[in-house]
Amino acid sequence: MKLNYTVRRGALEGVEAFLATARNRSFRRAANELGVTPSAISQAVRSLEKRVGAALLFRTTRSVGLTEAGEKFLALASPAFEGLLAAFDVARDMGQRPAGLLRLSVPKGAIPLLLEPVFASFCSAYPDIELEIVASAEMTDLAANGFDAGIRLGELIAPDMVAVRLTPPFPYVVVASPEYLHSHPIPKRPKDLSDHHCMRLRRSSGAIAPWSFIEDKQAIEVVVGGPLIAQDYTTLAGAAARGLGLAQVPQPIAASALRDGRLQIVLADFQTMTPGVFLYHLGKRQVLPKLRAFIDHVKSAG
């Protein structure tokens, strides 16, 4: 049998008044403690007793005492009410200062580019925040999976998310190692890719992504083939640097290998652009100080 654990509307009304009266054994002292009138305390307790269905207090002209039902109610309600107040305090504290567990869903390739350079400085600046990074190629449902935010390329973010730019726009580049290009003809146009080993990306949907270009001012897609399929750009760029073939990756992924000469760009005249990398979250009301601190820290570090 399915049980209904929903708290009835108004079930907690009068509990604080009863607890204050039980502590003080006086309506007047309870009223002074809570900053209301004695009649308001008395009325709140009577309303609670009516809902409970039993008298909780003995009342005389000189004193107030607990009935047996009142003793039982006090024993159970007092620690529960204190726990509820503590929960309010913890939640309020987390809403006012950067603290708590900050969970981020991040593609593997973004970790060395955006996050590794700021790990130490962020954790040092905000010691009350625990930072959890979950590497995932999939677009994560933040609410369903308990994440505060995600990081993705701009074109992949759903329109109902709030997106915060972390990088400027950058191109997708086709790269290969000098060794590979020495032993294979350099492609001059996208159609030449049919003669090359091209590493490919498998999307989280399971589909293999075609390569995208701008040719004669038109966006085109080219289906390529080759020896390697991976689910992240970092793996593709690494394979290209080892001479396995060509890879099309976001330029920042290949930046280090391009600087030291392990990779070279081909088909530069046909590059497409991506809007850049963004952090996305559920909305302004969900931006707790811990997330705001992370956003500001990463942006300032960039």
Domains of the chain (ranges plus CATH)? 15-96 (1.10.10.10), 100-168+276-301 (3.40.190.10), 170-274 (3.40.190.290)
Task: Give this prediction's pTM.
Answer: 0.64
In the prediction, which pLDDT does 93 show? 64
Instruction: Give residue-wise pLDDT tens across range 137-189.
Output: 777 788 778 899 998 887 767 777 888 888 889 999 999 999 999 999 999 99
pLDDT of amino acid 205: 81
Q: Round the average pLDDT of the chain to a whole number and report it.
A: 87
pLDDT score of 3: 44
Give me the pLDDT at residue 111, please. Answer: 85
Regions of the chain with pLDDT less than 70:
1-11, 89-90, 92-95, 156, 284-286, 302
pLDDT at residue number 7:
45
pLDDT of residue 104: 93
User: Using an 8 Å Cβ cutoff, are 56 and 77 in contact?
Assistant: no
Per-residue pLDDT of 196-222, as tens digits, reads: 999 999 987 889 999 999 999 999 999
